[in-house]
Amino acid sequence: MDEPRQHYGLTLGILAFAASAFALQQTMVVPALPELQRELGASTTWVTWVLTGFLLSAAVLTPILGKLGDRFGKERLLVVSLGAFLVGCVGCAAAPNIWALIAFRIVSGAAGAVFPLSFGIIRDEFPPERTKIGIGLLSAVFGVGGGFGLVLSGLIIDHASWRWLFVVGAIGVAVALVFVHRFVPESPVRSTSRIDVPGAILLSVFLVTLLLGLSEGASWGWTSSAVLGLVALSAASGVLWVVLELNVDQPLIDMRVLAERPVLLTNITALISGFAMFGSFVLVPRFVEAPGGVPAEVAARVDYGFGASATTTGLYLLPGSLLMLFAGPAAGLLGRRIGSKWPLAIGMALIAISAATLAALHAAPWHVVAAMAGMSLGVGFAFAAMAALITEAVPPTETGIATGINTVMRTVGAVIGAQVGAAILTADTLAGTEVPTEGAYVIAFALAAAAAAVAVVVAVLVTPTRRRRPAEVALGAS
């Protein structure tokens, strides 16, 4: 006789807590980079590796851990992911130098699998009519936690040591780890395929070289031999990975599933959405903090910004983060009624309108707060809809790897967007300074709006989920 399953509401609460612990740590380090550079005596290049190392690690490990979760159990791999995250947080808190800090941030990147594994657990444990709402709420946690992370980071940096960023993070992760291990049931849905080790290695090489080239292109030079070599290696490994996956019996991910219209277009939308959203976490904080940190004679020439502190900068994003808590479940409810592609299109339209508003209106603080609130609503709708579309379109045994790939696509888009935004700001500066002009921000926000508008069109073209083949249904049930 099967052991009775606990109520899915308790599972959702624990997964949301675990996701919030990850989301907090993902953004808390951003305002602390200048402090880390001063305290640890690091160069600007190396202190950015506190972010870059985490990003590379998460991008590589997210799909691989998602696939392992499909094979060996999603709850088990979620515990492993959180355990690595806890080790990383504790190590960062005690790091004696920048090298140790970067190394432990790379370890922490394993937590990137929290969301795809959690989406898989929701699909396995929830009643079908509640799945989209659960995915929507969990997607909203990503944005809410990110916003709170910026505010909390500002408070800690302004009043305590940067090490408390990781102490606070470690406490949250430890509690989440215990709760997941104790209360989240193991998934009854397992894939029987072997782990495609060559495929995992090629995917890792492809992602590391791609993201490393994009992240360091501005500092190394886009035409430097290092960047061009990384791009070439990325392209070669990417092609080899696709060829391998098409010709092995049990691939890391079925490329034919990725090529199906709902999955393909959803992933393209994820890539564009990541690009379009660079304004929220890269450009807006820099804009509202201007003209801080520059000599008085230069500040007198800057005709934008509000001189915000680290704490105040987080407050500009906080109202939008709170709204995201409602946007995710609302997208799930709407998706149940009219299909998930429409909340995705609505979300991207809100992002486009908000970015365009930032380009046109940014003279008063409330302009920025209102625009970021609209953008956060759009992000909440889009994230929830993307996760729902992917889980609907793939067999249950592929949920972890498929949602992991979708997360990676969004990450790649965000890296590209951040680099394009930085290039725009660098190319248009006040004469004799490195301070961007107001016009540079206007162009960057307008470009984000245009990208989001393109994503609206792509989202509308997403077709309903294909009808799964009987063999897939039988495999999922087993």
Model confidence band, residue 6 (pLDDT cutoffs 50, 70, 90): low
Is pLDDT of 433 > 60?
yes
Is the distance from CB of 17 to CB of 23 less than 8 angstroms? no
Predicted pLDDT of residue 4: 52
Helices (H), 109-187: 114-125, 128-159, 163-183
pLDDT at 107 over 90: yes
Instruction: Return the SS3 of 94.
Output: coil
The pair of three-digit structure tokens given for residue 242, joined into one six-digit string: 């696709």
**Residue 281 in this model has a pLDDT that exceeds 90:** no
Q: What burial letters (b/e) apply to 428-440, b meaning 16+ CB within 10 Å?
A: bebeeeebbbbeb
In the three-class reduction of DSSP (H, G, I as helix; E, B as strand; rest coil), residue 429 is classed as: strand
Structure token pair of residue 400: 């972890």
Residue 467's pLDDT band (cuts 50, 70, 90): very low
Domain 8-195+252-477 has CATH 1.10.357.10: no
Which residue, among 151, 49, 175, has the nearest Cα to 105 in the 3D structure?
A: 49
Residue from 242, 272, 209, 257 nearest 393 by CA? 257
In terms of pTM, does the model score above 0.85? Answer: no
- Sign of dihedral through CA atoms 262, 270, 121, 7? negative
Nearest in space to 268 (alpha carbons), one of 417, 461, 447, 446: 461
Q: Which two tokens stand for residue 426?
A: 């660098």
Per-residue pLDDT reduced to its tens digit, 356-385: 999 999 999 999 999 999 998 998 899 889
The CA distance from 395 to 341, in Å, is: 19
Confidence at residue 445, expressed as pLDDT on a 0 to 100 scale:
93
Q: Which residues, other chains included, contact 231 with Cβ-Cβ below 8 Å and sequence gap of 6+?
A: 209, 210, 213
How far apart are the C-alpha atoms of 238 and 199, rounded to whole Å?
10
> Residue 51: which residues within 8 A CB-CB, separation 6 or more?
29, 30, 33, 105
- Going from the C-alpha of 474 to that of each of 5, 73, 389, the distances in angstroms are 22, 18, 21
Task: Check residue 474 and report its DSSP letter.
Answer: H
Whether the predicted pLDDT of 438 surpasses 50: yes
* Segment 127-183, tens digit of pLDDT: 887 888 888 888 878 777 777 787 788 788 878 889 999 999 899 999 999 999 988
CA angle 17, 21, 22 (to 5 degrees): 120
Q: Is the dihedral of CA 389, 18, 114, 310 positive or negative?
A: positive
Look at the chain and count its residues: 478
**C-alpha torsion angle, residues 42, 43, 48, 53 (rounded to 10):** -60
Q: What is the pLDDT of residue 458?
A: 94
Distance of CA 204 to the CA centre of its chain: 18
Of 352, 392, 350, nearest in space to 131 by CA: 392
C-alpha to C-alpha distance for 107 and 89, rounded to whole angstroms: 9
Q: Report the mean per-residue pLDDT for the chain.
A: 85
Task: Give the C-alpha separation, 468 to 394, whole Å.
Answer: 8
Maximum pairwise Cα distance, the chain: 78
Q: What is the average per-residue pLDDT within 114-122?
A: 88
pLDDT band at residue 459 using 50, 70 and 90 as cut-offs:
very high
State how far the Cα of 111 lies from the Cα of 170, in Å rounded to an integer.
Answer: 12
pLDDT interval class at 439 (50, 70, 90): very high
Bridge partners of residue 429, in order along the sequence? 436
175-231 pLDDT, tens digit each:
999 999 988 888 777 777 777 889 889 988 998 898 888 888 877 888 899 999 999
